[in-house]
Structure 1
């Protein structure tokens, strides 16, 4: 049965926001930079929980403690929001240590993406809306917080919904250099690409492609298939930059499993292609390749689905913190994305 969804109450000026590390930690200098921006830009009071002070070896060896930090943050009556310091690659190990009753009894706004989409999909299954932002890189990068990111972070912090998410006028692909602090190269946004003509509304399920794939493989945290009827699938690719055909293969498996055809729409994040150490060259046409492969899977398993590509969420710059579990309307007639 589809859970009754709760959007946790928004934060207010001066409210406490718990800083936790459900995945990996970040350097103290970046943690300080992010906390300073939370205070100075958003007038929030960051409270650093235990996991955010630990190194990776300790976090790796203590998934139970990471789960406990999350639950304690949700239960703390003074805390109005919980934000992950960064992503990682093993948060799936944390989920079995979570008590859903401790989370649902005190629903709190959670902010995270990448590896934190593990927790966000867990919250989805238990009816809690969460938001796609982390301290690093969302809040730490660039000499000043990008105005587009700041605008939508303010909505995610202080408003009931994101409302209409407009395209950003510009985007950047390369990583920000913290040593030099030099501004990144920003490119003019050439817009979003739409597929289909039908306006659809549904709850958002999905997130980072790698994490969605893990949940499909482990199965234990997936919602009942019927709970996805009419939902909107969100997908974005991380700095792993998967081969476009690998994304199609996963969508094909979802189609054969009877899942892909249940969605009324699909929202695809603008892919990041700059990734040091990548063993293959995505090329300048990676976005087009990825779009073509996703459309091929939809053509076979869900030809009537409305889809929109190159949306500002996930591993891209700038971003709007996509809320999993929230209702979204995709309107291709006016090329608009609106969250309720």
Structure 2
């Protein structure tokens, strides 16, 4: 596999592609989508360019692949941003022209189901960015979270180190995107709890890889975009998040166990575990139920890591993935985990 390299960054005033490689939810929920486009223009100074399948509910994998090809091939497009995730992006991967995308490297921003495309770009030799969707982060009710905006701005426009910090306040309770009243006020948040460190007696610096745990499980089952030689991950930083489907602690453990049996877990020198999603419209947990879900997930992760990678430095409740605020992580880029100083620095 080619070692991933950082693609050129956009500048304010540039055109950026807005695509829906997973689900055309902008067509179902235009309010957060239009707000996200507005903030791309007004907050970041970028000109969004929409593609044919971006708002199309039920678009085919071929249509979504063609949008991606058009976005990467266009020399006037300087970055590619996902509108949102979904659950079937894995069906798009076999249709992608790896040579075309490799010849036209651009920063790609997305997370959740976009783990598929992030892993594809990693194997193609392009550093991509886990985070920063149009509908969720850019289209947040009230205003973009300042911490999200700061991280996304740094990832979009700069190429140096950026130090992450724990959120002072956070939320994972969702609001109704179909209700205009949702967007008139700031969402309620909870006090931050900081990060929890395990095995924090060393400094690790390596390339980041991972994403949404459920999607990685699917990629492993389909045997797609996973390096054949696990040694490629030696000394790297694994980062994992779980989705709004809120997998049980048993499912989390089993997925990690299977990664361990494949010889993956022991290769990484550090694991960043995202603050888990603990509320959904289908399972509207009380704060106590949310805390229990998070605690059970943490124990599942610890059990798997004790069994397969006991020497790994672990940091829990990092603010990436399905949480607000959300920081951007470089997929295939450098991440430094300084245990003694309790600091995490990424290179955008």
Using the size of structure 1 for normalisation, the TM-score is 0.95
Tell me what 2:196 maps to: 193
Q: CA RMSD in A?
A: 1.5
Matched residue SS, 2:162:
coil
**Aligned counterpart, 1:19:** 18
**Counterpart Cα distance in 1 of 2:278 and 2:38:** 30
Q: Does 1:277 align with 2:282?
A: yes
Q: After superposition, where does 1:71-110 map in structure 2 within 5 Å?
A: 71-110=69-108
Partner of 2:136: 137
Pair 316,280 (structure 1): closer, same or farther in 2 beyond 3 Å? closer
Which 10-residue stretch deviates more, 174-183 or 328-337? 174-183
> 2:174 touches 2:281 (CA, 8 Å); kept in 1?
no
Distance 1:279 1:187, change over 3 A: closer
Give the direction of change, closer, same or farther, for the CA distance of 1:157–1:283 in structure 2 (3 Å limit). Answer: closer
Secondary structure of the corresponding residue to residue 42 of structure 1: coil
Q: Distance in 2 between matches of 1:251 and 1:271?
A: 15
**For the residues of structure 1 that align with 2:265 and 2:175, how far apart are their CA atoms?**
36
Residues in 2 aligned to 1:172 and 1:29: alpha-carbon distance in whole angstroms: 20
Aligned partners of 2:176, 2:140: CA distance in 1, in Å? 8
1:162 is displaced (CA, Å) by 5.5
Question: 1:10 is matched with which residue?
Answer: 9
**Alpha-carbon distance in 2 for matches of 1:339, 1:30:** 28
CA contact (8 A) 2:142 2:187 kept: no
The separation in 2 between residues aligned to 1:101 and 1:29, in whole angstroms, is: 36
Counterpart Cα distance in 2 of 1:176 and 1:149: 18
Whether 1:290 aligns to 2:297 is yes
Q: 1:29–1:184: structure 2 CA closer, same or farther, 3 Å change rule?
A: closer
Name the structure 1 match of 2:220: 216
Cα deviation for residue 99 of structure 1 reads: 1.0
Larger deviation: 267-276 or 171-180? 171-180
Say whether the 8 Å CA contact 1:152–1:162 is kept in structure 2. no
Q: Which stretches in structure 1 are left out of the alignment for 5+ residues?
A: none
Q: Distance in 1 between matches of 2:279 and 2:160?
A: 31
The more displaced of 312-321 and 62-71 is 62-71
Kept after mapping to 2: 8 A contact 1:84/1:111: yes
In structure 2, the residue matched to 1:52 is 54
Question: 1:239 aligned to 236, 241, 244, which one?
Answer: 244
What displacement does 1:31 show?
Answer: 2.3
1:67-104 CA distance string (max 9 Å, x none):
11112101111111111111100000000000111111
Q: CA deviation at 1:177?
A: 4.0
- The answer (yes or no) to whether the contact 2:278–2:285 under 8 Å persists in 1 is no
- Which residue number corresponds to residue 255 of structure 1? 260
Aligned residues of 1:83 and 1:134 also touching (Cα < 8 A):
yes
- Could you tell me which residue of structure 1 aligns to residue 207 of structure 2? 203
After superposition, give the CA deviation of every residue in 1:30-58 in whole Å (9 maximum; x if it has no partner): 3221111111111110011111132x22x
Structure 2 counterpart of 1:265: 270
- Which of 286-295 and 85-94 deviates more? 286-295
Instruction: Determine if contact 2:279/2:290 at 8 Å carries over to the other structure.
Output: no
Contact 1:129 1:326 in 2 (8 A): yes
Runs of 4+ in 1 over 4 A off after TM superposition: 279-282
Q: What secondary structure does 1:221 align onto?
A: coil
Q: 1:109 to 1:83 in 2, by over 3 A?
A: same
Indicate conservation of the 8 Å contact 2:138/2:144, yes or no.
Answer: yes
| Contact 1:95/1:119 (8 A) holds in 2 | yes
Is structure 2 residue 146 aligned with structure 1 residue 150? no
Q: Is the 8 A contact 1:156 1:162 kept in 2?
A: no
Say if 2:342 is the partner of 1:322: no
Moved more, 94-103 or 214-223: 214-223
1:64 aligns with 2:62: yes
User: Does the aligned pair in 2 maintain the 1:6–1:107 contact within 8 Å?
Assistant: no
